[in-house]
Amino acid sequence: MRKRHWNDRKNRPCPECGKRLTYTRKDSFDRAVGNNSVCKSCAQMDRRVTMETLDKMKQPKTYEHKRKISHSVRKWWIDKKQEDIRHGITKV
């Protein structure tokens, strides 16, 4: 099978910042043009976290929060073990 060339179609500018985007496959290029997709750095611009959220994430977990996490993990393992028993899976 012969490889088709499309030398003039593998680069396009980002619609937001104008950065040159390079594509190695024609279908990826066509999809990006059709969706008018932006580069990765422009896509991350909308995902900025506020300083208030960062401060909240830096705070240590409370005892009650740790206990809830421990309880949910323990419950997950118990449920998994019961499911294995129902399906006839035994561990050595």
In tens digits, the chain (92 residues) has pLDDT values of 455 666 666 889 999 999 999 988 888 888 999 999 999 888 887 777 788 888 888 888 899 999 999 999 999 999 999 999 888 887 76
DSSP at 15:
T
What tokens appear for 91 in the block? 């561990």
- Strands of 31-85 (E only): list them: none
SS3 88: coil
What tokens appear for 72 in the block? 């949910």
pTM of the model: 0.44
Cβ contacts of residue 28 below 8 Å, gap of 6+? none
SS3 59: coil
